[in-house]
Structure 1
């Protein structure tokens, strides 16, 4: 750490280190999922269609690449005090926080609406689709309530 870094920059650097650790765990998990999928379909002949295997491998690997890019970006910022300061200011700017908050709020409404519609339409088409969409909606709402109660007490 630079001695000339401000206290807020040092705190932000610690936050980025924690964030990088979480990102690294996600990358390892995604690569493990890819490995399990590859081993399962190659050696144990799991009954998964080739199209699904290709989709899942692409999904896992693309998420791994995205999180690796985040790790590299954070490391570059941590090693350059000017980049660190710029990134910290951008991430803590009230306008940017408000934009992110509004975007997440609208995304939450859209997701809940889509899951409700999918449950309704799924009830006519497929029982499994209805239960899957309903379960996802319950997980979404439960996680929202838990986070709401937690942050209401914490903040």
Structure 2
């Protein structure tokens, strides 16, 4: 088995209303608690980073599935929405992530016949989807142009 480590360094000073920093090989940024949850809201937060990870993983997996199915000249625009809930005992949980890919391709009739299988393959092959499956519902609502 081949393994690969993904390293992220994170720094946080002071209390919950502070702003932290994270750094990886190709990603650097700041983090804070969103203002909607009583934080400063002046940086990315772990919840939107989770949705961004799921979105970027899914679009790459979908692109690979379309390529393997021999679709060429493909453009994908993806909107991903993470829906979280705050329970009565103040536990915050990501309930679902909805991916809405708009796929532009020359062979729309051919893709319409195969889209259900291809979106399933892409979801099954996405490492982030695998990591959250069973804990976060994943919904995929494709549009073909």
Which has the larger share of helix? 1
Larger radius of gyration: 1
Which has the larger share of strand? 2
Say yes or no: TM over 0.5.
no
TM-score under structure 1 length normalisation? 0.25
